[in-house]
Amino acid sequence: MVSKKKKKLTPVMQEYQALAKKREPSKFAFNKLCRAFLVGGIICLLGQCIQQLFVRFGGFTIKEAGSPTAGVLVLISVILTSLGVYDKIAQWAGAGTAVPVTGFANAMASAAIEYRRDGVVIGLGGSIFKVAGPVIVFGTLAAFAVGIAYVIFDPNIVGG
């Protein structure tokens, strides 16, 4: 069936399809998987190191150190995005840079940088929330669903 479609194509179109197929990235490559795992692990290791610094030198407990650690990771991600470094790392590592906090910060900062010329309200505000809106909506819905499940399945809340 595929060969019938190729017969109907002009020679130029067939040549183009052959060239496109040759340059098409492979769907699965073990080295891509390894790079994603390596970079994602390095980002998580960096977060763990930052958390330990807050615990050891800041007097935080491990639980208290979580929020400032996330803040520092977001700050690092935004700085690297503004310098154009994060995008190069993301191109090399693929999904490994999509660790939730840093990947989300990168997406927000990228939108802000790209649309800053359109003004503060329409450019920055509107474009940032194109990215953040779905995350906020689905995060809120997920939190609501988990809360309902918690109320249903925790016997201490209902009084049982």
Q: Which domain holds residue 41?
A: 31-96
SS3 string, 98-159, reads CCHHHHHHHHHHHHHHHCHHHCHHHHHHHHHHHHHHHHHHHHHHHHHHHHHHHHHHCHHHHC
Task: Confirm whether 107 is domain-assigned.
Answer: no
What contacts 25, CB < 8 A, 6 or more positions away? none
Sign of torsion over alpha carbons 42, 40, 47, 102: positive
CA gap 51, 35 in Å, rounded:
24
Task: State residue 157's pLDDT score.
Answer: 66
Task: Confirm whether 114 is domain-assigned.
Answer: no
pLDDT digits 0-9 by tens, 39-66: 999 999 999 999 999 999 999 999 999 9
The answer to whether 68 touches 54, Cβ cutoff 8 Å, is yes
Q: How many domains does the chain have?
A: 1
Lowest pLDDT segment from 36-40, 54-58, 98-102, 144-148: 98-102
Task: Confirm whether 157 is domain-assigned.
Answer: no
Average pLDDT over every residue of 133-157: 84
Task: Confirm whether 120 is domain-assigned.
Answer: no
Average pLDDT over every residue of 104-126: 79
Give the model's confidence band at 6: pLDDT under 50 very low, under 70 low, under 90 confident, else very high.
very low
Average pLDDT over every residue of 18-23: 85
CA gap 39, 90 in Å, rounded:
9
Task: Confirm whether 151 is domain-assigned.
Answer: no
Task: Confirm whether 11 is domain-assigned.
Answer: no
